[in-house]
Amino acid sequence: MEVYLVGGAVRDALLGIAGGDRDWVVVGQTPQAMRDRGFRAVGRDFPVFLHPQTQEEYALARTERKSGRGHRGFVVDADPSVTLEQDLARRDFTINAIARRPDGTLVDPFGGVADIEARVLRHVGPAFAEDPLRVLRAARFMARFAPLGFRVADETMALMRAMAESGELAELVPERVWQELVRALASKAPSAFLRTLRECGALAVVLPEVDALYGVPQRAEFHPEVDTGVHVELVCDMAAELAPGDDVVGFAALVHDLGKARTPAHVLPRHLGHEHAGLKPLGELCERLKVPVAHRRLAEVACREHLNVHRLAELRDDTVHDLLARCDGFRQPGRIAQLALVCEADKRGRTGHRDDAYPQGPELLRLLEAAAAVRAGDVLAALPEGRTLEGPALGAALRKARIAAIHEARTL
């Protein structure tokens, strides 16, 4: 078979970074010929096969022709006459349109190697505009590669801007938008994802609740960066640093301040009650993108409680207990650990404050541990002989005992 290594594996090797899965292109073969060699077909929309030993993906060289709106509107041709160069021409960016022969030499018809050296993300050709999902892919690649010095080529940004203006981004299915978003949030620089989408006008289409934060002022004594959108960028990057690869924490960091976009103009730059005001736009975003439950629950908790965690030292013992209970922390202590990370990212995601200490995080976990150590069985065991409690009465007694444990832990 005429086989070439393609895509991310080639690109990442040239960048000197660890790559993930390896993808292969097969030229001059038919689906039946692949099956005859023991490959197992897995592609639904075009011919993709798994190698019988390595289980790596081998795709027949193919071309694509636009047949409708959205990222699904394509007709695929995987005829054996399709050349490697034709297959590479349908790809999104030049840095992804490089193939490697078995002898190690490269096939680079669109200058991808030069763009890697220049740190430029550039589209391969005009067919880029046929798939609106590629706008999000560009932003997601920037979330990964901006720390390496990459920028979007001017002509690519102009094309992305035209695509956003065309209205085709509205055709994207929620699952694909969510997939690109979480991959960006798990990258090193989620801020680059937001900035790229905003620069081309796509952020207002796919994440209008986040786009609305830009230009909203905050009090400079607490937020030297002033602009709420810039603050969210800093918080997302700090979350990526504190919890690398954790897109659950990353999503909560992204949406924790959505309520600030709803502050009446005459109140600005103060944001009284923005925590609760953010729950409605958060719910709308989650419904639209079909956000998974784990992401949504932490996001709701972070939106509602982040100011309470910031002022943890000022809260009464019973207020601390009730905060933990509202977050379901006694059943899901991991959620409190994630909340602490989001709150730390919020506090340190401000201009000039990235190196600040955040003692509230470990203190919140310490108080949770003290309270959670008290069980219903402990309360019942402490009752006088012959007495028992159940239902709401047991719940009230357990709450009281846990508040006492929090108080004792704070006096140590």
At 324-366, the pLDDT tens digits run 999 999 999 999 999 999 999 999 999 999 999 999 999 999 9
Taking all residues of the chain, what is their mean pLDDT, rounded to a whole number?
A: 94
Average pLDDT over residues 234-244: 98
Average pLDDT over residues 276-294: 97
> Dihedrals φ, ψ of 66, to 5°?
-65, 130
Average pLDDT over residues 2-16: 94
What pLDDT, on a 0 to 100 scale, did the predictor assign at position 366?
A: 98
**Reduced to 3 states, what is the DSSP secondary structure of residue 161?**
helix
- % the chain with pLDDT above 70: 97
Average pLDDT over residues 82-91: 93
CATH architecture, domain defined by 1-117? 2-Layer Sandwich (3.30)
Strand 120-121, strand 57-60: pairing: unpaired
Average pLDDT over residues 180-205: 98
Task: Read off the pLDDT band of 74 (50, 70, 90).
Answer: low
- pLDDT for 39-54, tens place per residue? 999 877 678 999 999 9
Whether residue 322 has pLDDT greater than 90: yes
Whether residue 193 has pLDDT greater than 80: yes
**Reduced to 3 states, what is the DSSP secondary structure of residue 98?**
coil
Of 2.60.40.10, 3.40.50.261, 3.50.50.60, 1.10.110.30, which CATH number belongs to 132-206? 1.10.110.30
What pLDDT, on a 0 to 100 scale, did the predictor assign at position 77?
A: 77
What pLDDT, on a 0 to 100 scale, did the predictor assign at position 282?
A: 98
What pLDDT, on a 0 to 100 scale, did the predictor assign at position 69?
A: 52
Q: Residues 47, 18: contact at Cβ < 8 Å?
A: no
What pLDDT, on a 0 to 100 scale, did the predictor assign at position 66?
A: 56
Whether residue 179 has pLDDT greater than 50: yes
Average pLDDT over residues 101-110: 96
Whether residue 29 has pLDDT greater than 80: yes
pTM greater than 0.85: yes
How many Cα neighbours within 13 Å face the side chain of 397? 16
Q: Residues 120, 171: contact at Cβ < 8 Å?
A: no
Average pLDDT over residues 361-389: 91
What letters, b where the CB count within 10 A reaches 16 and e where it falls short, cover 130-164?
bbbbbbbbbbbbbbbbbeeebbbbeebbebbeebb
What pLDDT, on a 0 to 100 scale, did the predictor assign at position 47?
A: 86
Q: Residues 52, 38: contact at Cβ < 8 Å?
A: yes
Average pLDDT over residues 175-193: 97
More confident residue, 44 or 314: 314
Cross-strand partners of 121: 152
Whether residue 381 has pLDDT greater than 90: no
Whole-angstrom distance, CA of residue 406 vs CA of residue 409:
5
What pLDDT, on a 0 to 100 scale, did the predictor assign at position 12?
A: 95
